[in-house]
């Protein structure tokens, strides 16, 4: 079922959903199930599965040439989505990136998803690999998420890369895209970021899911700006409880997200990370309650492979 249908069927009730990471290469599907199992009692209508590009580094050989070596890989998004849908009878939503795919790769990925009966995808540009400062698209690949949305929407209309194909099957994907309440790190301003977000909706996106934020006012202001610009699709907030003191520096650095002073001071005064985890849970509970009271259709939690904190939040809120 499409995300937009789940929202419509909820008839105003706020739904619970979450996102998982594929396991590192060498691990099996059971580590995914171990993360999902504690959260199933809250009846998530869908679960997002991220896609991670290969991370690599270059090593200089004795002959002076550089050897490219893969240092980390999280394979299995297609298989994980299929396993989740088969085991739990909930919709699994794969993330699909511009980075790492040319357009033919993208088309084949989407065909596989269609064969598996997957109704939703999240279209993302993706980040630069760690060895690069700026994002570099693949040769003959989509450069922007808006282009990726167009390609998916074309398939929904039976338009394939090979224009000579006849009697083509139309896919029926519900397309999600990312939104940034505090703007994307590369955007010159929030207004310009929303301008390009609007283009993704125009190209066929059906809903928006946001980057994490810790101040609900920024989310509400973001939604108001989107609505003013004529963006009417559902906007789903992404939430993550802070869990370690290191994240006070890591989150602003990696995601360009501000942390409220009140939260920062509570974490700074905490005796240990167990205390920080409890502070993060309570903060996220307060955020969740306010969002539900405002009638937000879905609350989406970034579990990052750990379900304990998310379970405590959901048990209190849902």
Looking at the DSSP bridge assignments, the partners of residue 49 are 20, 94
> What CA–CA distances, in Å, run from 135 to 77, 106, 124, 298?
22, 18, 12, 30
Lowest mean pLDDT among 116-120, 127-131, 249-253, 278-282: 127-131
Give me the phi and psi of 90, to 5 degrees please: -125, 160
> What percent of the chain has a predicted confidence (pLDDT) above 90?
71
> What's the pLDDT score for residue 166?
81
Q: Are 287 and 240 spatial neighbours (Cβ–Cβ below 8 Å)?
A: no
> What's the pLDDT score for residue 71?
45
Tell me the average pLDDT across 234-239: 98
Domain ranges of the chain: 3-317
**Sole residue written with tokens 């167009």:** 150
pLDDT-derived band of residue 34, with 50, 70 and 90 as boundaries? very high
Q: 4-9 — which CB contacts under 8 Å span 24+ positions?
A: 4/174, 4/206, 4/207, 4/233, 4/234, 5/174, 6/45, 6/46, 6/91, 6/298, 7/207, 7/234, 7/297, 7/298
**Sole residue written with tokens 């199933």:** 40
Quick count: other Cβ atoms within 10 Å of Cβ 63? 6
CATH code of the region 3-317? 3.20.20.220
> What's the pLDDT score for residue 125?
86
The tokens of 142 are what?
């989509």
Lowest mean pLDDT among 112-116, 135-139, 290-294, 311-315: 135-139
What is the rounded CA–CA span in Å between residue 101 and residue 198?
24
Instruction: Judge whether residue 1 has pLDDT over 60.
Output: yes
Lowest mean pLDDT among 33-47, 54-68, 177-191, 275-289: 54-68
If you ran DSSP here, which 8-state letter would residue 40 be given? G
Tell me the average pLDDT across 240-263: 94
Higher-pLDDT residue of 41 and 100 is 41
What is the rounded CA–CA span in Å between residue 309 and residue 318?
14
Q: Are 145 and 180 spatial neighbours (Cβ–Cβ below 8 Å)?
A: no
SS3 content of the chain, % helix, strand, coil (to 5): 40, 20, 40
9: part of which helix (H) or strand (E)?
A: helix 3-10
Instruction: Judge whether residue 66 has pLDDT over 80.
Output: no
Tell me the average pLDDT across 88-98: 94
What is the rounded CA–CA span in Å between residue 207 and residue 2?
10
> What's the pLDDT score for residue 156?
97
One-character DSSP codes across 149-202: HHHHHHHHTT--SSTT--SPPP---EEEEEE-TT--TT-S-HHHHHHHHHHHHH
> What's the pLDDT score for residue 140?
79
Instruction: Judge whether residue 65 has pLDDT over 70.
Output: no
Looking at the DSSP bridge assignments, the partners of residue 16 are 299
> What's the pLDDT score for residue 74?
53
Looking at the DSSP bridge assignments, the partners of residue 72 are 55
**Sole residue written with tokens 């794969």:** 94
**Residue 287, class by beta-carbon neighbours within 10 Å (0-12 exposed, 13-18 middle, 19+ buried)?**
buried
Angle at 286 between CA 280 and CA 292, to 5 degrees: 130
> What's the pLDDT score for residue 277?
96
Q: What is the pLDDT of residues 114-167, one digit of tens each?
A: 999 999 999 998 765 555 545 566 677 888 999 999 999 999 999 999 988 888
Tell me the average pLDDT across 302-309: 87
> What's the pLDDT score for residue 282?
98
Lowest mean pLDDT among 74-83, 123-132, 172-181, 279-288: 123-132
Give me the phi and psi of 275, to 5 degrees please: -70, -40
């Amino acid at each position: 079922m499409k995300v937009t249908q789940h929202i419509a069927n909820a008839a105003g009730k706020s739904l619970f959903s979450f996102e998982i990471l594929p396991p590192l290469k060498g691990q099996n599907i059971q580590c995914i199930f171990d993360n999902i199992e504690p959260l199933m009692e809250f009846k998530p209508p869908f679960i997002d599965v991220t896609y991670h590009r290969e991370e690599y580094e270059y090593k200089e050989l004795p002959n002076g040439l550089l050897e490219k070596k893969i240092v980390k890989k999280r394979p299995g998004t297609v298989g994980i989505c299929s396993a989740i849908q088969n085991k739990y009878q909930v919709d699994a939503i794969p993330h699909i990136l511009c980075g790492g795919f040319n357009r033919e790769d993208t088309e084949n990925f989407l065909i596989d998803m269609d064969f598996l009966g997957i109704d939703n995808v999240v279209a993302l540009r993706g980040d630069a690999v760690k060895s690069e400062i700026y994002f570099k698209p693949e040769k003959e690949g989509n450069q922007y998420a808006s282009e990726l949305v167009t390609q998916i929407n074309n398939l929904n209309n039976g338009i394939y890369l090979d224009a000579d194909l006849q009697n083509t099957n139309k896919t029926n994907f519900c397309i999600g895209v990312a939104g940034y309440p505090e703007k994307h790190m590369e955007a010159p301003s929030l207004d310009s970021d929303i301008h390009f977000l609007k283009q993704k909706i125009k190209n066929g996106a059906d809903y928006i899911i946001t980057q994490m934020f810790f101040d609900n006012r920024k989310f509400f202001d973001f939604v108001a700006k989107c609505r003013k610009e004529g963006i009417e699709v559902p906007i789903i907030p992404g939430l993550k409880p802070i869990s370690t003191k290191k994240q006070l520096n890591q989150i602003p650095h990696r995601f360009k997200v501000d942390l409220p002073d009140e939260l920062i001071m509570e974490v700074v005064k905490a005796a240990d990370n167990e205390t920080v985890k409890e502070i993060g849970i309570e903060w996220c509970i307060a955020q969740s309650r306010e969002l539900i009271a405002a009638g937000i259709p879905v609350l989406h939690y970034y579990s990052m492979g750990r379900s304990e904190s998310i379970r405590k939040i959901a048990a209190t809120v849902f």
